[in-house]
Amino acid sequence: MSITPAMFRFKFKEFEIEGDIKIQQYIDDAIASVNPVSWGAKYDLALYYLTAHYLTLGNKTEAGASNASAPVNSKSVDGVSVTYATATPADATEAYYMSTAYGQRYLALRKTIGVPACVV
């Protein structure tokens, strides 16, 4: 079974205002990135969290974030400066998922089933 925008919004109330087309685009991206054979019974759960991760990053980008997938390393208020953390190639994939709570949950799930770090 695959998830629908309505099912996604039911699970993640914080995305209630998002439209079906937008959510479906991110669901489709998640489907293209998650292998149902590797994930087995946790496939839909992986889709939920990866979709939420993608949607969160997409919303940050739409709001003008210049580096939506990198965690903020430091900020200033009066000088209005923001510094994003940089990742080495070895930990770039993990840093990408760690940039949202949903990505962190997806990464934790992925580690429980032994799925390699490769994302298509």
Token couple for 88: 């080495």
Running DSSP on this structure, what letter comes out for residue 71? P
Q: Is 51 helix (H, G, I), strand (E, B) or coil?
A: helix
pLDDT in tens, the chain (120 residues): 689 999 999 999 999 999 999 999 999 999 999 999 999 999 999 999 999 999 999 998 887 765 545 555 566 666 677 665 565 545 777 888 998 999 999 999 998 987 555 554
Q: How far apart are the first and last CA of the chain?
A: 21
Tell me how many domains the chain contains.
1
**Which uninterrupted H or E stretch holds 27?**
helix 20-33
Q: Is residue 118 part of a domain?
A: no
Q: Is residue 99 part of a domain?
A: yes
**What domain range includes position 107?**
5-113
Give, in degrees to the nearest 5, the angle at Cα 88 between 82 and 90.
145
